Structure 1
């Protein structure tokens, strides 16, 4: 599971606990005869009835509430845990193809009865989720700052940001890698988990580089106004930015040193 934004240490620890349980679930839960592939833009509940439980086998699934991404499910996570509760308005959509094993409530309960280890792991996962969400809600209530994020998929060679354009968003590379160019000269790379495009957004300057997808990429975009608020609420975000900047500077220095040596 992936929660948007920066979090206090207790939330990060609980998130790791949930993800560890999810990995065990993926290993222990047998394949379902009702295995489906969800394509980009499709709501899970247009394919299966509400109340079914679906284990993510491959890909990432966004949980959407009130037209906003609340969290992201990864392999091993289970969608539909809210059951058939009418008040639950969550929907599940994907940006990339997702493979899921879907189980009816009765079939899922039978699997729990047959495998005590699976049952214990499921209980750990559910309790972990409840604790994670309660702590996360407290974190949100305290700070009241979470970005409204959008996700975009890029094919190899697609331009993510272009040098000289106005900077409206700050980006995080969720999946894949990209190359960075200044005046058509390659100067660095963007890797999974890294923030990019922040400098121009924070300084209200035009983009000083072009970023091109090196392979199939999924990128999260946060409006720059919300990103500024996020930094005020979570100063640790600056640390991640500084790490990215330091790596970029080191990469550029290595390239320049290599070019000088070649001369």
Structure 2
């Protein structure tokens, strides 16, 4: 218990020094529980949840409600109702033109020399309660009458939000924990309430996720396996919404499906900018301009995205999954994330010279012939990369044909 007392005193000192740090507030609540003070812990977490909701840190507010659900059902229901009323589609407090406010940055912990050990647990608890009261006052001073919309909630009615929170699962993760892995089946949507996580594909870093971010929607919407790996880089509170619940709510509130699709497309584009050599010669601004013209396309395993001999009016870039290029039942090449195909038909304005078949559930972003022509004029660097790709592919195909002739002889 002595260790728990010292830890509580340390957390209280950190929060007292930085009362706007919601992460430090959370640490105080958890330290109170570890010290055996369940009632004070529930009170601190309930106050934190209310403050987080008023400050627009809705993922943290929902996480607090889920934490309370196993410890204080009345407090959990009260907080859930508050979140639902405040952040629902009908709320008059939501300002659709505003953006979410970033969390206050964590402060450096006071040095050990400035934190004398408490005489006993009661003294540490008193310090923790005083720090929480300061944090409550600080939150009230920062809160405003109007709040930014929360993508996952502000398109739902209050009752739908209650249902969503009710099926959401809370877990606590440590640095190094893999939340989802490349190639795994998609079974949930995730929402990061606290901490940070790194998004990677192989050795390539695609980005970083911070508190308030939701992820996992790409594979969920497309019906594919996970397109990247997400790993915790700090202690995380993670919310998980089962796929069935997402589907049920999206049916009841179609706008939710639209929001998820918009976020999925934006994330696919961002990932594509980092993984495809096709866009390597464009600046970041040029990439964003070009990629906005691409449209998502989903293919199931066995689907022919391009058929040999047929007119093809689109160039595709793979963002998840794998494809095979075949001609006369012969495998010419395999394509994976970041690879492009269909460019030969657009450049030559001729029928496709091979089949491109999805080996597994595959998502591509495609550019129509008209859009391709516009982009080629505005961005000749991209056209040069497409020509380079075409020449390399023809060389590979010729090599394969030559090798096959040798085998026949």
When the two structures are superposed, what TM-score results if normalisation uses the length of structure 2?
Answer: 0.35
User: Which of the pair has more CA radius of gyration?
Assistant: 2
From the two aligned structures, give the one with the greater strand fraction: 1
